[in-house]
Structures are given as structure tokens and as C-alpha cells.
Amino acid sequence: MSTLILQNDGLSSISWQQTVYSQIVARKQQEIAATSEKLQESYDAKSVYFDSQSNQLARIKASISNAGLAVENGQEGLTQIKDYLLQMRIILGNYPSSDSPDLMKDEFDAYVDKINNAADLYAKDYNPIGNVVSTDWTPNTISFTTSTSGHETAMQGVYAGTDYYIEDSEGHLWVPDPGTSTIAEYTDYKTTNPADSEKGDGFASTRTGMRLDSYDAETGAITFTVNPDNEALSETVSGTITFGGTGVMQSWFYEGLDTEEGRTAALEAIDRAENLISASEAQLANMSTNVTRADANIDSQLDDLKGQRSEALREQMVANYQQQVKQQQELQILQTTFANMETQTAYYKSLFTNAGVSVSPLFDFTA
């Protein structure tokens, strides 16, 4: 404590209580600063945790959002495919009385291409209904993260395009290029990497260069002629056909739509395709429910984390406030104590003065 400045009456003109009080205030302020720093460090440590958790949840939400986008893409594609199948059905109904059968046949074939284009519109990671490997047709799997521990949910889609391949008697594969109305012969088809496949000589337009000669629905045995109107390129091929997806074919497979039997076969194929699309819609609706549920769960965790952050900040503010209130209370008590001491000092000084004592021995610190 600083040395007190005294006068002859034993008291300084600068109150010694004020000096002591100032020293105590300074010490209390240091204590509050130290406590506030510790509280801030504690909050900062919690904030780092909150930020880390929030970032992880944000990444999970982005993963779920991507899965939701993929499902929406698939649902939109199915809606388009349903409409295309309906248009094909209408064409079949109007075909017998049409004055432009060739034009209607071309429209029918174009809708098959449109089905495949709708199914294959998006990249694999955002496409649960198409963009698959020809001759394999395994649907794409849409995956998303569901927890900070890295757990994933995988949802297998459906192939809603229409495709096929024919294995001929020599073991070669005739594989169409979906959406382009063409078919090519492959002497060695690489399912895992079609771009590395080895092509044969056969090639034709499936709109104008294919003719069905015979087909056995039970065994899949098929005989067809490519480029039947071009003697130099014409070739008759026998083999076995395998269908993928909806299985709807272009008009060449239905006798050019020119016979009742062919149109009936086309209508039956459309019936099966519509049933498959309906089942696919139900599957994607279930996928959508899973995505929505997962997204809601992450939103709940983000809200909870936000609440924890707010509570931690509130606790810090309350602790700082309580510390300040405590200091004010302690200083108020100290002020009251010093005030009482000053009153008592004045009282005793008056007693000694009245007694004729010039300097109070109680306050003479120089004696």
C-alpha cells in the first residue's frame, strides 16, 4: 500500500481511503479482465467446435441436396417418358386411317429416341433413370451422406430408357446407339468400356435400314435384315435379342406398323412400358421421401447447433455481467465501510479537539 500523506492532525488532505479504494478498484478490474479472458477462451474453444460441426453438417446437406436434385431429374424424366408413350399410343390408334403413314411411322420412331434422350439427359451422379452401360443396364446408384460419422445411404435407381442388343450366330453383338436411331455390329463389345469395343462391318439406320423377318417372343430368337433396300449392303442376321429398360422398339420391330399384328405387339409393349414407368415413379417417390427425411434431420441438427452456440454466448455474457455486478457490490460495500470509517474519524477528532489535544494520538502516525 502507498505511504499515506499526513498533516499535523494525522490525516492527509488526500483521503487515504480514496487511495486504498483506487488500488482495490484497479485490482478488481484486473481480476475481471482475467476472468473475461478465460470466459472468452472457453467460448472460442466452443466456437471452434461449433464451426467444425456446422461445416460438416453443411457438407452433408449439400450431399443430400445433390441426391434430391438427382431424384427430381429422374421424376421429370419419367413424366416426359410417360407423355412420349402416350403419343406413341395415339399414333398407333390413328395409323390405320392416316393419309401419311410414313410420316406417322417416323414420328413413332422419333419418340423412341426421345425416350432415350429423356432418360440419358443427366450425368450418372444426377441420373437415377438412365445414362447406363448398354448391354448391362444396371441402374445408377444415388448416394448421400447422412451423418458426421460418414454413414451413407445408397439408393438404386431404375433404367427407364429403352434398349436392346442382339447376339448373332457368330457371337457378334449388334448394339444400337440409344437416341440416334442407329445400330452397329461389334466383334468384341467391351461392356465395362464400350469406347474400346471392336466394330464389325455391320451398320444400319434403325428407322430406314432394318426389317424384321421373324421373332419368337418365348426364346428371343430373331432374324432380321439390315439395309434390305440396298443389295450391296444387305445382310440377313439370325441371333437372340435381349431387351433392357422399357423394351419399346422402333417400328421395324413391329412390321413397320403396317399390320394389325404388328400394331398390337407395339401396343402391348407400350402397356408393359407404362407399367414399368408407374413402378419407377413409386420407387423414385420413395427415394424422394428418404432424401426429404434426411434433409429434415440435418436441418434439425443445424438448428440445435445454432441453439448451442447461442446458449454458449449467453452463458459468457451472463458470467461477465455477474462478475461486474459482484465487483460493483464489493466496491459499494467498500465505499460504505470507508464512509463509516471517515465518520468515526471525524467524531474522534472532535473529541480530542474539545479535550484540548491539538494532535490526536490515534491519528499521529509521525510520533
Read out DSSP for 200-228? Answer: EEEEEETTTSEEEEEE-TTT-EEEEEEST
The top-scoring range by mean pLDDT among 34-38, 78-82, 135-139 is: 78-82
In a 13 Å sphere around the CA of 281, the CA atoms on its Cβ side amount to 13
pLDDT (mean) for 102-115 = 96
Q: Name the percent of the chain lying above pLDDT 90.
A: 58
> How crowded is residue 236: how many other Cβ atoms within 10 Å of its Cβ?
11
pLDDT at residue 58, rounded to an integer: 87
Residue of higher predicted confidence among 158 and 323: 158
pLDDT (mean) for 175-200 = 90
SS3 category, 176: strand
Name every residue whose Cβ is closer than 8 Å to that of residue 250 and which is 6 or more positions away in sequence.
108, 109, 112, 181, 206, 207, 210
pLDDT at residue 352, rounded to an integer: 62
pTM of the model: 0.75
What cell numbers appear for 122 in the block? 443427366
